[in-house]
Amino acid sequence: MKARIIVTLKNGVLDPQGQAIEGSLKSLGFAGVDSVRQGKVFDVELSATDPGSATQELESMCEKLLANTVIENYTVEIIG
């Protein structure tokens, strides 16, 4: 089973990478960029077969390791 986890910074948390990229896009001439926030994607392959329990397992991975819940949010999606 394949799953995709997306981890993004919470609102209000500083995002130096996003800021720098925004600046760089602007200097490349992309004037219409209002903001950029950078996050992470994890594409996970699991041997589990039940989507329900897999989702639970993935959420637990996020809580325990993949996201720093002080500053990050996460979403979990089974994709195949």
Residue 14 binds: one of its own copies, another protein, none (C-beta under 5 to 8 A by kind): another protein
Residue 48 binds: one of its own copies, another protein, none (C-beta under 5 to 8 A by kind): its own copies
What separation, in Å, do the N-terminal and C-terminal C-alpha atoms of the chain show? 6
Q: Are the beta carbons of 54 and 1 closer than 8 angstroms?
A: yes
User: If binding is defined by CB under 8 A, does position 80 make contact with its own copies?
Assistant: no
User: If binding is defined by CB under 8 A, does position 11 make contact with its own copies?
Assistant: no
Whichever of 13 and 33 has its CB closer to another protein, that residue is: 13
What SS3 class is residue 48?
A: coil
Q: How would you class 58 by CB atoms within 10 Å of its CB: exposed for 0-12, middle for 13-18, buried for 19 or more?
A: buried
Q: Which residues bind its own copies (CB under 8 A)?
A: 6-8, 18, 21, 24-25, 28, 30, 32-48, 57, 60-61, 64-66
